[in-house]
């Protein structure tokens, strides 16, 4: 545990640490993380959408280049016919877009994205996480 804390640049405490969002190291007892924004996450996942050629030809969409699509944990299929066994599906511009019900990785990634959106919703203050901002 000492080596782990040293690698993170943290001091040993009573075994309790606060997880804070910050691009700079946290204070004593804080583990600071700086994640991608929601828009960065969505842009990264956009490269996994099966964009219909018609939409490309009509300049309605573009293909986001990905180094290796197979390494992405998310895949959105598309087609003219309504999918029969989809986990989630939506019709848009005479096409269907869906996540296969048998694609566990995509289902898990989609659920996690929906969870992140839930956390980022504004509204009732009781649902919001506490954010500590270093001022010193």
Q: What is the pLDDT along the chain (136 residues), one digit of tens a residue?
A: 778 777 777 776 667 777 777 777 777 777 778 777 888 888 878 878 888 999 889 998 887 766 665 667 788 999 999 999 999 999 998 899 999 999 999 999 889 888 877 876 665 555 555 655 565 5
Q: Are residues 16 and 48 in the same domain?
A: no
Q: Are residues 79 and 99 in the same domain?
A: yes
Tell me the pTM: 0.62
Indicate whether 82 belongs to any domain.
yes
Q: Reduced to 3 states, what is the DSSP secondary structure of residue 76?
A: strand
Residues 6+ apart with CB under 8 A from 114: none
Number of domains in the chain: 2
Range of the domain at 68: 38-120
Q: Are residues 45 and 75 in the same domain?
A: yes
């Amino acid at each position: 545990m000492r080596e782990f804390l040293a690698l993170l640049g943290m001091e040993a405490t009573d075994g309790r640490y606060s997880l804070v969002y910050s691009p700079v190291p946290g204070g004593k007892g804080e583990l600071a993380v700086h994640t991608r924004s929601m828009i960065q996450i969505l842009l990264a996942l956009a490269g996994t959408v099966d964009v219909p050629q018609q939409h490309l030809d009509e300049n309605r969409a573009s293909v986001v280049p990905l180094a290796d699509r197979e390494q992405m944990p998310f895949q959105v299929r598309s087609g003219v016919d309504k999918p029969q066994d989809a986990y989630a599906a939506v019709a848009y511009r005479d096409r269907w877009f869906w996540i296969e019900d048998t694609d566990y990785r995509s289902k898990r990634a989609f659920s996690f994205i929906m969870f992140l959106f839930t956390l980022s919703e504004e509204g009732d203050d009781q649902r919001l996480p506490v954010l500590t901002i270093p001022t010193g």
